[in-house]
């Protein structure tokens, strides 16, 4: 049992060395270690992957319980994985242990094809987000082929492709979502054709070009929510200063989440008050003004709160090792603050609603649509027209008169 005590003590020291200062994290880890130690003593076991899994199985039912019970189960799971990683010599940095694993094809043939395609996308310079979505779509397709007992991609037909798009996996998805998945699948088929992996050079034509267009109402945050969001309440906390700067970049300039986390020191020209970068989504360069409150927020974070790091990116994650944030981490930032508002004040909780709010403000200030599209980094100059619907004052002028339409009171009732 002394071996486990030493293991838990060393693991905790490692965790603290990674810069983890949260009392809750440390307290939860120590609690889990005490429970594991008691379990090992009662059952006369040594700590191993098998005994760890046996102990954790007693808490699995909590996953279906209350929020606090689920968190308790996840806390125990994290403690086990940290202990096992240290025991195996693999605890080199603070880790995020995903609770879900991506579903991948099971046969070696399709697994190899998936890896080939991934390497192709990397060589093409695709972003991490783009590759992740492509891997998800291609895996779905390959798993579908496996379920249809099509064991070799060379047996693929156009009918198989069209049948996949009609599969249950797409039921309930919005047209734009299906279109995005279809585009990724089309790129895969073209890759297979170009590499000679499939002999049919027209398989990609089985992907429809036109999907039902979906028109949705553009949502923005209310003026009250905006004012509260940009208040100085967050500035007492180092991470709050980081979050404030990120929120202002989205709310004032309409920058995308991926561009915010990818922003580097070299992108900012302090002398000319400009921000210049290549957009992650479109690969198109763009220059935006460094507005005063954004510049102040950035300087406040960089000079007073940003820890020392070799990263060229400005925004760092809040735990060691201090690396550049990823888009998924940025989503947690917006969720943290936007969740405070009622549905009417903030219908959505992601960074994109801040981008839409920025576009709406430009419309309200009589900025031409073409300039708004350019400032948002749209490839199509007409893309910003969708924000016209948010300008309620001008939309009222478009209302049709009911003059000349006869109607009696009885008909209204």
Task: Quickly list H helices, 43-66.
Answer: 49-56
Q: Which long-range contacts (CB under 8 A, 24 or more apart) does 336-339 make?
A: 336/243, 337/229, 337/234, 337/243, 337/247, 338/221, 338/225, 338/229
Q: 32-66: buried (b, 16+ CB within 10 Å) or exposed (e) per residue?
A: bbeebeebbeeeebebeeebbeebbeebeebeeee
Neighbour tally for 172: CB within 10 Å: 7
What number of CA atoms fall less than 13 Å from residue 335's CA on the CB side?
6
Please tell me which residue, 350 or 267, carries the higher pLDDT value. Answer: 267
Which residues, 6+ apart, have CB-to-CB distance to 146 below 8 Å?
105, 106, 107, 110
Residue range 123-137, pLDDT digits in tens: 998 887 789 889 999
Here the tokens at position 70 are 């689920």
**What's the rounded mean pLDDT across residues 59-63?**
83
Map residue 342 onto helix, strand or coil.
coil
The CATH number given to 223-397 is: 1.10.443.10
Asked if residue 307 lies in contact with residue 322, where contact means CB atoms within 8 angstroms, the answer is yes
Report domain extents, the chain: 2-87, 108-206, 223-397
**What pLDDT is recorded for position 115?**
95
pTM of the model: 0.68
pLDDT of 385 above 80:
no
Compute the distance between CA of residue 260 and CA of residue 265 in angstroms, rounded to an integer: 12
Q: Which fold has domain 108-206?
A: DNA polymerase; domain 1 (1.10.150)
Residue range 311-347, pLDDT digits in tens: 999 999 887 778 899 888 888 899 889 988 999 999 9
pLDDT of 2 above 70:
no
Q: What are phi and psi of 316, to 5 degrees?
A: -110, 155
Task: Quickly list H helices, 124-213.
Answer: 128-147, 158-165, 175-194
Sign of torsion, CA 351 355 357 358? positive
């Amino acid at each position: 049992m002394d071996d486990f005590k030493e293991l838990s003590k060393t693991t905790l020291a490692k965790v603290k060395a990674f810069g983890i200062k949260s009392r809750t994290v440390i307290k939860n880890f120590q609690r889990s270690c005490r429970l594991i130690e008691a379990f090992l003593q009662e059952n006369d076991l040594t700590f191993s992957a098998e005994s760890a899994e046996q102990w954790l199985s007693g808490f699995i039912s909590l996953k279906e319980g209350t929020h606090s019970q689920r968190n308790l189960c996840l806390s125990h799971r994290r403690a086990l994985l940290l202990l096992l990683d240290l025991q195996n010599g693999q605890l080199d940095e603070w880790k995020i242990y995903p609770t879900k694993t991506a579903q991948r094809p099971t046969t070696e043939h399709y697994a190899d094809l998936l890896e080939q395609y991934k390497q192709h996308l990397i060589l093409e310079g695709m972003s991490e987000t783009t590759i992740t979505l492509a891997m998800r779509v291609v895996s779905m397709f390959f798993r579908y082929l496996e379920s249809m007992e099509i064991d070799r991609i060379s047996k693929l037909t156009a009918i198989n492709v069209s049948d996949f798009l009609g599969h249950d996996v797409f039921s309930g998805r919005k047209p734009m979502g299906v279109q995005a998945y279809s585009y990724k699948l089309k790129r895969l088929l073209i890759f297979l054709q170009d590499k000679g992996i499939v002999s049919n050079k027209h398989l990609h034509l089985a992907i429809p070009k036109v999907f039902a267009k979906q028109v949705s109402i553009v949502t923005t945050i209310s003026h009250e929510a905006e004012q509260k969001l940009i208040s100085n309440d967050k500035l007492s906390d180092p991470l709050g200063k980081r979050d404030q700067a990120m929120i202002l970049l989205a709310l004032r300039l309409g920058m995308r989440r991926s561009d915010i986390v990818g922003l580097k020191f070299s992108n900012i020209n302090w002398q000319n008050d400009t921000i210049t970068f290549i957009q992650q989504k479109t690969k198109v360069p763009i220059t935006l003004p460094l507005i005063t409150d954004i510049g102040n927020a950035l300087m406040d974070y960089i000079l007073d709160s940003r820890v020392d790091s070799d990263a060229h990116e400005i925004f760092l994650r809040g735990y060691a090792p201090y690396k550049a944030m990823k888009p998924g981490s940025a989503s947690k930032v917006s969720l943290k603050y936007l969740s405070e508002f009622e549905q009417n004040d903030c219908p959505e909780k992601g960074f994109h609603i801040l981008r839409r709010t920025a576009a709406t403000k430009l419309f309200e200030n009589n900025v031409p649509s073409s300039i708004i599209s350019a400032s948002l980094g749209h490839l199509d100059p007409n893309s910003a027209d969708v924000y016209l619907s948010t300008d309620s004052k001008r939309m009222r002028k478009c209302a049709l008169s009911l003059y000349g339409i006869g109607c009696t009171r009885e008909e209204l009732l």
